[in-house]
Amino acid sequence: MKFRVTFKDPDGPYDCLTDAAKESVASIEGIDKDEREALANARREELKKLTDRWFEYGEYVTIEIDTEAKTATVVER
């Protein structure tokens, strides 16, 4: 049997993408705080475009559970 569960988390994906983007620019040398922030924002947008494949409106994600295969799969929007 297969069934789907949809989760809504308005802050989780945004916060995680923001944290990942900040971490990715933290070790870059030779740029000031404003440049680092601008680069982090650009990277967050790139990550958001990638994750839009699975997250609807940046906050809904659907997981399909297969009880026979004992698997869980994130469903594309």
pLDDT for position 57: 94
DSSP string covering 13-74, please? HHHHHHHHHHHHHTT--S--HHHHHHHHHHHHHHHHHHHTTT-BTTTEEEEEEETTTTEEEE
pLDDT for position 46: 97
Tens place of pLDDT per residue across the chain (77 aa): 999 999 999 899 999 999 999 999 999 999 999 999 999 999 999 999 999 999 999 999 999 999 999 999 999 99
Give the count of domains, the chain.
1
pLDDT for position 44: 97
CA distances to 32, 47, 56 from 29, rounded to whole Å, are 9, 22, 35
Range of the domain at 33: 2-75
**Amino acid letter at 11?**
D
